[in-house]
Amino acid sequence: MGTIALILVIAFVILLVMDVPIAVAIALSTFIAILADGSDPTVVVASNMANGVNSFALLAIPFFILSGHLMGRGGMASRLIDFAATLVGFLPGGLAYVNTLTCMLFGSISGSAAAAVSSVGGFMIPEMNRKGYNREFNVAVTTTAATTGLLIPPSNIMIVYSVAAGSVSIAAMFMAGVLPGLITGLFIMLVCGAFALKNNYPREPRSSLLQILVSFKRAFLSLFLIVIVIGGILSGVFTATEAAAIAVVYALLLSVVIYREIKLSDMPELLLQTGITTAIVMLLIGASSGMSWIMTMANIPQTVSAALLGLSDNPIIILLTINVLLLCVGTFMDMTPAVLIFTPIFLPVVEKLGMHPVHFGIMMIANLCIGLCTPPVGTCLFIGCGVGKTTIAKVTKTMLPFFGSMVLALLVITYIPSTSLWLPVTTEQLKAVDVEKCTFMRAKPAIETIPPSNDSQAAVPTASTTANASNP
C-alpha cells in the first residue's frame, strides 16, 4: 500500500500548491488515492463524509460559533476591557497587560481567536496607538494573546480533537486547557513587561477597590457564561453539546435584552455567518474522515509511528520532533484540518511513549495556536494587521519575542504532564488510576519491550493499551 500513500501525499501537496481550498484538496486527494486503490471513490468518500459528521458531539460546534458571534457583537468586549484595566492597568505598559488579559477572557468566553482579535483589537489597538505604544507591538500583543482563548474553555477545536481522537472526553479536554492557557498568557505578559521597560511605556492610574468592584459588576454577567458552561458540564447537569445550546440562549438574552447591543433585525446576518462558518468546519471534518480512512488503509499512521519510534528511544527527542513538524504544519495549514489530519497519525506514537491522549491534545492545540500568528496562513495575524492598519512585514520582527514566549510555554506544556492532567483529575473528569498508567516523563520510555522468551513474545504493556480507558 506504499504506492497509495505516495499518491495521496503527492496529490494533496499539489492541490495545496495550486491554492485549492483545503477542504476540496483533502476530498480530491482522497478521491484520487481511493481510485488508485481500485475501490469506488464515490461510494467510499460519500459514506465516510456522512459518517464523519454524524456525531452528537459535533452539534456543539454551530452553537458555540453562534454564541461567539453574539458575544462579539453584544458589547461584552468593552466591559471586559474595563474590568481588566482596573486589575492590571497600573503596571508599566499597563494597556499591554489589559489587552492580553482581555483577549484571554474574551477568547475563552467566545471560543474564537479571530473574534477576540477583531473585537478586543478593534478597541485596544487604536487606544494603545493614541497612548504612544508602538503600532506593531500593539498588533503583536493582540494577535498572540487572542490564541489563548482556544486553550481556555469552552473551545471548538477541543471538540474537533475529541472527535478525531475517538473516545477522548470533551469535559476532560475543557478542564485540561485551563492551566496551559493561563501559562501561555503569563509568558506573553512577561514579554509585554520587557517591552514596556525597554520603551518606557506609560502606566494607567491605579484603580481603587470600589472601581474594581464596579467594573467587575459590569462584566459579571459576561464572565458568568464561563461558570454556566463549565459548571454545568462538571456537575453533570448537561453535556458539552447541551452547554453550547444554553450558551446561545444566555448570549442572546445578554446581547439583545440586557445590553441591547444587538437588534433582532441583526439576527439574520448573524445566523448566516454562523451557517457559513459551520458549513466550512463540517465540510473539513467530513473530508478529513475520508482521508483518515484511506490513510489507515495505506498504513500511514503505522509507518510514521515506526519511523518516529526508530528515530530515538528518548521520548523527549520524539516529542520535540513532533512539535517541530506541527509548527511547520501550522505555518501553512489552518488549525481544524491540521487536527483532523495529524491526530490519527501522531496519537498512536505518543500513546506508545506513555503520553495521555488528553495531554497530547492540549499540546497539539497549543502548538497549532502559534500557526495562527505566523505567515502565510496565520488567520489572527491577517486580522490583527487589518485592524491595526499595518503590514505583516512590519509586524514580523516585533512578533519574534512573542513567538519565543509561546514556544517556551509549549515546551512547558509538553514536558510537564501535570499542567494538562492535574485539573481534569482534580475535577474527576479523568480517573487518577488511569492517568498513573501513563508513564510519560515519569519512568523509562514505554516503547521498551521485554526481550522475547521461548514461551512469550509479548511486549511490556504500554500506555497505548490503557490510555483510552482514561476517558469517561
Q: Is the pLDDT of residue 469 over 60?
A: no
Q: How far is the first Cα of the chain from the last one, in angstroms, to the nearest whole number?
A: 35
Q: What pLDDT is stored for residue 122 in this prediction?
A: 84
Nearest to 325 by CA among 378, 371, 379: 371
Q: What pLDDT is stored for residue 140 in this prediction?
A: 92
C-alpha triplet 51, 344, 62: angle, nearest 5°: 50
Q: How many angstroms separate the CA atoms of 467 and 472, rounded? A: 11
**Buried (b) or exposed (e) across 267-285, using 16+ Cβ within 10 A?**
eeebeebbeebbeebbbbb
Report the mean per-residue pLDDT for the chain.
83
Residue 441: pLDDT band (50, 70, 90) is low
Residue 450: pLDDT band (50, 70, 90) is very low
Task: Supply 32's cell numbers.
Answer: 484520487
Q: What pLDDT is stored for residue 321 in this prediction?
A: 92
Task: Supply 344's cell numbers.
Answer: 490519527
| Least confident span in 69-73, 90-94, 216-220 | 69-73
| Least confident span in 56-65, 292-301, 457-466 | 457-466
Residue 472: pLDDT band (50, 70, 90) is very low
Q: How many angstroms separate the CA atoms of 289 and 295, rounded? A: 10
Q: What pLDDT is stored for residue 190 in this prediction?
A: 94
Record the pTM: 0.83
Q: What pLDDT is stored for residue 97 in this prediction?
A: 92
Q: What pLDDT is stored for residue 407 in this prediction?
A: 95
Q: Is the pLDDT of residue 467 over 50?
A: no
Parse the chain into domains and list their residue ranges: 1-39, 40-432
For residues 358 and 168, the answer to whether their CB atoms sit within 8 Å is: yes
Residue 185: pLDDT band (50, 70, 90) is very high
Q: What pLDDT is stored for residue 365 in this prediction?
A: 94
pLDDT tens-digit series, residues 28-61: 998 998 888 777 788 888 888 888 888 787 888 8
